[in-house]
Structures are given as C-alpha cells and as structure tokens.
C-alpha cells in the first residue's frame, strides 16, 4: 500500500533529479569521471526517466517480459477464477495490494507460499506446479502491480523496436491459416497502445469472449457424455457449465475420460515458443495497421 501512495510522484521525481544534477556540477573535475549526468528530467531518454522514477519510488526490478508472458495463461487458468482476470479480486482478495505480492521479488516468497496455500481459508495449494511455473505467475502479478503503480514509466518505454517488413513476412507465414486480413486491418487502433497490442496478439484476452472458452466432453463410466465450458479443472475433478447453464462437477475416476478443446491452443504455442525478435517484428508490423 505504501508504494501505491507514492504514485504520481513523477513531478516530484523531476524536482529531485534537478536538485541532484545541480549538486553534482561542482565535482566535474573529479579523478573518477562519471558519465555526464543528463541536465533535466525532460531531456532524458524514456528509459532513463523510467529507471529514475523506479528507483525514486522504491519499486522492484522491472518484470521480465518473457516470464510475464508465460505467467499470464497460467494465472488465467489457475487463479483468475478466484482472484479476477487482472488479479484485482473476485471471490478471492485483490492481489495488487497484497503484502504477499508487494514484498516478493522474483517469486522468492510467493513460490513457497503458493506451494502451501491457505487451504483452510479457501486458498488452494499449488504443490503440483513447477517452481518455474509459479515464478512465472509471480512475475505476472508483479506486472499487474507495475501496470497500476508505475504508470509514469510504463507507457514511456518504447516496445516498438522491430522491423515491420520482417513482421509482415512472419504474419503471412504463421498466422493467415487461421486469420483473415480483416482481423488485422485496424488492430493497432483497437488495442490503442503497443504494449496492449503485443499482449493482445500473443495471448488474446479470453475473459469476456465466450468463443474463446475452453470446452470439454466428459465421458462417464455408463457411456453417457457431458459437454460444456470448463470452469475449473484439476487432476482430480472437472467443473463444466453446459449449454442449459447447469453446472456439473465430475470426479475424474479411472473410467471417466476428459477431452478438452482450447480455441487458443495455437496462441499458447506462440506464447511458449515465439522468439524475442519475431515478437518485436510482429508488434512493429501490426502497429502500422491503425
Ligand atoms: C478457489 C479459489 C482460489 C484460487 C483458485 C486461488 N486463490 Fe489465492 N486466495 C484465495 C482466498 C480465498 C484467499 C484468502 C485467504 C485468506 O483469507 O487468508 C487467497 C489468498 C491468496 C494470496 C494471499 C493474499 C494476501 O495478501 O493475504 C495470494 C498471493 C494468492 N491467493 C495467490 C493466488 C495465485 C497466484 C493463485 C493461482 C496459482 C491463486 N491464488 C488461486 C482463493 C483462491
Ligand atoms: C491455429 C489457429 C491460429 C493461429 C495460427 C493464430 N491464431 Fe490468432 N486467434 C486464433 C483464434 C481461434 C482466436 C480467437 C478468435 C475469436 O475469438 O473470434 C485468435 C485471436 C487472435 C487475436 C485477437 C483478435 C481480436 O480481434 O482481438 C489476434 C490479434 C491474433 N489472434 C493474432 C494472431 C497472430 C499475430 C498470429 C500469428 C503470429 C496468430 N494470431 C496465429 C487462432 C489462431
């Protein structure tokens, strides 16, 4: 919470920096020459401004984008049901203001916490997930905090660093078997900012789009079948909502078979395998399609 209260201090940061810049001026003839300090906040590169704001606000290191990208679908599948799609809270608490999250760095506290959970209070244990998966989820949570808390730096960082021509070639080779040109016609306008565009094309939002929901057919020991949208699934049970809106929770015994269909399966593959330069090139290309 303390950190959130410091937010919006960009203007203060500018003043602080101006003062620091001043006090360093007399020491220019020093033995150990420092790189020349930028004159004012406004003349800094966006990256310098971001770093300064970050250290002034006492924020943790910037979230690792690749880990965040991997953590997003894991969060969606395992946590969003209770904590809301953006971790802002639902049945379970808001995680953006949670001390467990704010005092964590790269999962060192969250991973052990998630392995145990607080089952007595409704927070399950995630003992079967790997440390890497849980660390990716932790990083996704840090990105959510970042999006809310460090808005000043967030939109200044330029992620449009790729080559649009290469991005176009990549899209033609990898995306057009599923997408018509209309999908991309005004895509940059739809997502508004490059960071949303990048997240949106790598991992399209599922929440609010029934056509993107995971569905399953569960075959029961008596041969009957139940189909529906998957609400929750674990190694032990699956909860479905059928087309009549009725909820079914089925224990996954030895003679119960579950066949799931994920319309975004291709995007899960993109998410896990896309290379950084392809990612930047595609975003740069899509960003030209206003
Ligand atoms: C079935 C619902 C449910 C699911 C699924 C769930 N949580 Fe929770 N979670 C809760 C509840 C309820 C609490 C509050 C427990 C309490 O009161 O101490 C909680 C607490 C937490 C807290 C501690 C918050 C605090 O500051 O005390 C964190 C962090 C957390 N959950 C993260 C996660 C993550 C990450 C996942 C997915 C891997 C997840 N949860 C999945 C219900 C859930
Ligand atoms: C195997 C099929 C498949 C491939 C390959 C694929 N996608 Fe998708 N994509 C989908 C499906 C299915 C949806 C959800 C469509 C819906 O809800 O109508 C989707 C949704 C999207 C969306 C969200 C559209 C919107 O209007 O919000 C974007 C953007 C997108 N894909 C970009 C891409 C890009 C870029 C590539 C190539 C790097 C790609 N897709 C490759 C199947 C695919």
What is the rounded average pLDDT of the residues 132-153? 81
153 or 115: whose pLDDT is higher? 115
Q: Cβ(21) to ligand 2 under 6 A?
A: no
pLDDT band at residue 153 under the 50/70/90 scheme: very low
User: CB count, 10 Å around CB of 287?
Assistant: 20
Structure tokens at 203: 């991992």
pLDDT score of 59: 61
Residue 241 in contact with residue 235, Cβ under 8 Å? no
Per-residue pLDDT tens over the stretch 154-191: 444 466 788 999 999 999 999 999 999 999 999 999 98
The mean per-residue pLDDT over the stretch 41-48 comes to 64
Between 8 and 234, whose confidence is greater? 234
Rounded to 5°, the CA angle 27-31-34 comes to: 65
- In this predicted structure, what is the pLDDT of residue 154? 42
pTM, 2 dp: 0.54
Q: What is the average pLDDT value for the chain, to the nearest integer?
A: 78
> Higher pLDDT residue, 248 or 270?
248
Q: Which of 131, 132, 136 is nearest to 79 (CA)?
A: 136
pLDDT in tens, 275-284: 778 888 999 9
Among the listed ranges 7-16, 50-59, 112-121, which one has the minimum average pLDDT value?
7-16
pLDDT of amino acid 266? 87
Q: What residue's CA is closest to ligand 2, atom 13? A: 264
Q: Where in the chain is the domain with CATH 2.30.30?
A: 215-261
For residue 25, what pLDDT band results from cuts at 50, 70 and 90?
very low
CATH architecture entry for 1-28+39-157: Orthogonal Bundle (1.10)
Residues framing ligand 1 (Cβ under 6 A): 78-79, 81-83, 92-93, 95, 98-101, 114, 118, 121-124, 126, 137
Least confident stretch, 21-35, 71-85, 231-245: 21-35
Select from 73, 168, 183 the residue to mutate for testing ligand 2; criterion: most ligand atoms less than 8 Å from CB: 183
User: Which CATH number fits the domain 215-261, given the four candidates 3.30.70, 2.60.120, 1.10.3470, 2.30.30?
Assistant: 2.30.30
Instruction: Give 180 Cα–ligand 2 centroid separation in angstroms.
Output: 10
- Rounded to whole angstroms, the Cα distance separating 107 from 68 reads 12
Please name the residue whose Cα sits nearest to atom 35 of ligand 2. Answer: 201
Show the tokens assigned to 266.
């291709």
Per-residue pLDDT for 22 more than 50? no
What are the residue ranges of CATH 1.10.760.10 in the chain?
A: 1-28+39-157
Mean pLDDT of the 134-140 span? 96
Please, which residues have CB within 8 angstroms of residue 238's CB and are 6 or more apart in sequence? 216, 218, 230, 232, 249, 250, 252, 258
Ligand 1 geometric centre to CA of 77 (Å)? 14
Ligand 2 centroid to residue 202 C-alpha, Å: 8
* CB-count burial class (<10 Å; 0-12, 13-18, 19+) for 201: buried
Can you read off the two tokens belonging to residue 248?
Answer: 């079914």
- Best residue among 86, 91, 93, 145 to mutate for probing ligand 1, ranked by most atoms within 8 Å of CB: 93
Give the angle subtended at the CA of 93 by the CAs of 96 and 211, to the nearest 5°: 85
pLDDT band at residue 205 under the 50/70/90 scheme:
confident
Token couple for 85? 């799609």
For a substitution probing ligand 2, which of 166, 171, 175 has the most ligand atoms within 8 Å of its CB? 175
d(CA 98, CA 78): 18
Instruction: Kindly list the distances between the CA atom of residue 65 and the CA atoms of 69, 140, 195, 255, in Å, as whole numbers in the listed order.
Output: 6, 9, 11, 42
Instruction: Report CA Rg, the chain.
Output: 23
Torsion (CA) 197, 202, 207, 211 in degrees, nearest 10: 110
């Amino acid at each position: 919470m303390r950190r959130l209260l410091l937010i919006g201090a960009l203007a203060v940061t500018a003043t602080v920096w101006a003062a620091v810049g001043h006090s360093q001026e007399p020491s220019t003839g020093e033995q150990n020459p420092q790189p020349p300090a930028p004159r004012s906040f406004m003349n800094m590169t966006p990256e310098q401004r971001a770093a300064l704001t970050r250290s002034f606000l006492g924020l943790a290191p910037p979230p690792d984008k690749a880990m965040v990208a991997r953590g997003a679908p894991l969060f969606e599948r395992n946590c969003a049901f209770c904590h809301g799609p953006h971790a802002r809270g639902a049945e379970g608490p808001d995680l953006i203001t949670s001390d467990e999250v704010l005092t964590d760095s790269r999962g060192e506290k969250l991973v052990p916490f998630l392995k145990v959970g607080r089952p007595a209070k409704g927070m399950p244990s995630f003992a079967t997930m790997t440390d890497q998966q849980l660390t990716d989820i932790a990083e996704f949570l840090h990105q959510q905090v970042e999006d809310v808390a460090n808005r000043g730096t967030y939109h200044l960082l330029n992620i449009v660093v790729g080559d649009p021509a290469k991005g176009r070639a990549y899209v033609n080779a990898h995306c057009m078997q599923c997408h018509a040109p209309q999908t991309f016609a005004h895509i940059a306008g739809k997502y508004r900012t490059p960071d949303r565009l990048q997240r949106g094309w790598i991992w399209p939002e599922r929440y609010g789009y029934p056509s993107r929901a995971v569905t399953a057919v569960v075959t029961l020991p008596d041969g009957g079948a139940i189909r529906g949208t998957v609400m929750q699934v674990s190694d032990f049970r699956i909860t479905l909502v059928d087309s009549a809106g009725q909820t079914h929770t089925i224990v996954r015994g030895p003679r119960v078979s579950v066949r799931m269909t994920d319309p975004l399966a291709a995007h899960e593959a993109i998410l896990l395998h896309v290379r950084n330069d392809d990612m930047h090139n595609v975003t740069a290309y899509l960003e030209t399609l206003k």
